[in-house]
Amino acid sequence: MARDSGAMKDARMNLESSNAPTPSRIALPDDPMAVHSSRKVYFAHLEADPYGFNDVAYDWPQDTRFALATAAFYATVLCGVLGMVRAGILPTFNPESLGYFAGALVLLFVGKCFFSWLVLHFRIKINYVRKLGLRPWKKLAAFVVPIVITQGSTVLTDWIVLFALGALVGLATESYWMRSRVKLFAYAYVSWDRIEDRPYSMRYDQIEDLFRFAIYLPFMILFGESSLIVLIPNLVNEFGDGLAEPVGIRFGKHTYRARAIWYDGRFWSGNFVRSIEGSATVFVVSLLILSFYSASFTPTQYIVTLAVLPLLMTTAEAISPHTGDGPMLALVGCAFLWAVQFL
């Protein structure tokens, strides 16, 4: 763990000298976003519990059961896909893509360790390194490798297999059971584990990725992996939503409430926030992305898409649950771009 900076020491001493319990021992807060009330509060919480293990109110065996159930699901997916390949229902898997994907995962893990070092030594908020440094690489790897490396009919098989393998690797390195036993895994996860999401970070990621996978898959089957129906929503999700959080954390002054699908033992719970400034980023990025693909639409299609899709994607991001905006953007974006084909 990093040595205390002067500000971290002062914050910790203030906490220890107060009558309030230290952040590492308190139960789940009613307002998890209060950790962003000041840099002193934020880094005092991080210093008190850098790995997020000390929440006494959380049922950690529940986290382990979730990880095991999710791993069993993805193992079943892999067995099912390989069985369909043997039966000739799906094209064979391209082993070359597996090598590139393994390399991408190794680089991602090295990147996590590097950014964790930045967080702990230079007091950079996890929200920034997660969204600006790690998220584009992590979220695009399963899409980019099979599409760029694989040519022809094996793309769909590669994408399903690599997605399932990536999820299993995530469970193996990010679940509490593994992180509490392998210190390097715990250290690497610091750069991804937002304080306000603890102790649900791993669960939020797995659920969001699964829903996004379930939404993109049928559109990829129907229209192809390189179709704009799939590509444009994915780009808006990765770059629009990816920039919305850093912009909101740094510049957001006009906030509104968001709920998580699951928090503190209840569905649709938690007092999370988004900002108008952050949501406006989704709107601007949507416009910029559409400007690159204007030639792919008829004049009527492009005018309608330009007038409707940015606002639609911004609204989808605004009303979606906390950490659930990816699937919502995928569903709304793919459905609209499919419908606009008929104009």
Claim to verify: residue 150 and residue 247 sit in the same structural domain = no
Whole-number pLDDT of residue 20: 38
Claim to verify: residue 214 and residue 233 sit in the same structural domain = no
Distance between CA atoms of residues 126 and 132, nearest Å: 10
Distance between CA atoms of residues 242 and 158, nearest Å: 25
Whole-number pLDDT of residue 174: 95
In angstroms, the Cα distances linking 188 to 5, 47, 107 are 20, 16, 12
Claim to verify: residue 215 and residue 251 sit in the same structural domain = no
Whole-number pLDDT of residue 56: 73
- For all residues of the chain together, what is the average pLDDT? 85
Whole-number pLDDT of residue 146: 59
Claim to verify: residue 20 and residue 153 sit in the same structural domain = yes
CB 179 within 8 A of CB 189: yes
Which residue has better confidence, 109 or 32?
A: 109
**Structure confidence by residue, pLDDT tens digits, 198-209:** 989 999 999 999
Whole-number pLDDT of residue 148: 60
Segments of 36-176 assigned E as strands: none
Residue 25 has pLDDT above 50, yes or no: no
59 CB-contact burial (10 Å; exposed 0-12 / middle 13-18 / buried 19+): exposed
Which of residues 191, 209, 224 is at a domain's end?
Answer: 224
**Structure confidence by residue, pLDDT tens digits, 49-86:** 999 998 777 888 999 999 999 999 999 999 999 999 99
Residue 152 has pLDDT above 70, yes or no: no
For residues 10-35, give the mean pLDDT: 51
- Gyration radius of the chain's alpha carbons: 21
CB 162 within 8 A of CB 145: yes
Claim to verify: residue 211 and residue 333 sit in the same structural domain = no
> Which of the four pLDDT bands, split at 50, 70 and 90, describes residue 119?
very high
Q: 67 is in which domain, residue-wise?
A: 1-224
For residues 246-269, give the mean pLDDT: 85
Claim to verify: residue 177 and residue 164 sit in the same structural domain = yes
Claim to verify: residue 84 and residue 129 sit in the same structural domain = yes
Phi, psi of 21 (to 5 degrees): -70, 155
> Which of the four pLDDT bands, split at 50, 70 and 90, describes residue 117?
very high
Q: Any idea which of 145-154, 175-184, 293-302 has the lowest mean pLDDT?
A: 145-154
Claim to verify: residue 26 and residue 168 sit in the same structural domain = yes
Residues 6 or more apart in contact with residue 3 via CB below 8 angstroms:
121
Claim to verify: residue 183 and residue 265 sit in the same structural domain = no
Closest CA to 306 of 319, 317, 296: 296
Claim to verify: residue 120 and residue 72 sit in the same structural domain = yes
Lookup result for tokens 């002193």: 40
Q: Any idea which of 110-119, 251-260, 301-310 has the lowest mean pLDDT?
A: 251-260
Most confident of 211-215, 251-255, 283-287, 320-324: 283-287
Claim to verify: residue 271 and residue 128 sit in the same structural domain = no
Which of residues 224, 256, 288 is at a domain's end?
Answer: 224
**Structure confidence by residue, pLDDT tens digits, 182-198:** 999 999 999 999 999 99
CB 120 within 8 A of CB 42: no
Q: Residue 270: left (phi > 0), alpha (psi -120 to 50), or beta?
A: left
Claim to verify: residue 90 and residue 178 sit in the same structural domain = yes
Distance between CA atoms of residues 172 and 308, nearest Å: 41
Which of residues 167, 195, 224 is at a domain's end?
Answer: 224
Residues 6 or more apart in contact with residue 217 via CB below 8 angstroms:
160
Whole-number pLDDT of residue 287: 96
Closest CA to 194 of 246, 267, 254: 246
Give me the long-range contacts of 133-141 (CB less than 8 A, separation at least 24). Answer: 133/191, 134/108, 134/191, 134/192, 135/238, 135/242, 136/238, 136/239, 136/242, 137/104, 137/107, 137/108, 137/111, 138/108, 139/237, 139/238, 139/326, 140/238, 141/101, 141/104, 141/105, 141/108, 141/166
In angstroms, the Cα distances linking 341 to 195, 296, 305, 338 are 43, 11, 10, 6
> Which of the four pLDDT bands, split at 50, 70 and 90, describes residue 111?
very high
Quote the number of domains for the chain: 2
CA angle 70/234/81 to nearest 5° reads 40
